[in-house]
Structure 1
């Protein structure tokens, strides 16, 4: 079952990457909330366990409206297309709820965390950001 879900996830990402860009015009100043932590042991496995039991929303809890799906695809495409970001940053969790974007997962540096936030802010349709990305310190 897990293998099938992984294949569906990969197919979904490939489909999203093929969608046309919706634009990068700035909306009226979206609000930004920055959370997360910095620690040497930041990794996705531990974060996944934390999110699963802390009552935090995960990508599986995402609303399934066409607008949210299109905005999610545009945000994901913008993050993945920036080749200056690390593989960790390309694989962050992105959750969209009526224009509000939540970012979770590990990134390599505080600068990368801010860069991802700026990239997401530039996507048309983003009304607010909850930046809960965690910075992995060496």
Structure 2
């Protein structure tokens, strides 16, 4: 579990960096009300959306022991699990495009969060209702 501080920083970062895409690719966050778009728009074009989950690990010591834990440098680390959802039967290209765009947005140090390695397990899955197919990226982050 990520702390509320890390979650809020990550969410604010995404909100600031994803506003142009938010209308065409909305984001679902942990345990918040969300209604996915219909699988196809009124012109029969496939719709898509993202599901973002925030994982965290407390605490990783980043300094040499001084004898006083309060004087040490501790960082919180974790991962963003980002799932791109597209209608079943529409292929993986749209998933790959939106996941690449999201991953490219999460590069380097933002001042509050430092992003690290990105893993793209090329495994797809279908939701329980059978309407949506997804692929994912896993993006490492660190808050110091």
Indicate whether the TM-score tops 0.5. no
Q: Which has the larger radius of gyration?
A: 2
What's the TM-score, normalizing by structure 2? 0.36
Name the structure where strand makes up a greater proportion of residues: 2
Higher RCO (CA < 8 A, seq sep 6+):
1
Greater helix proportion: 1
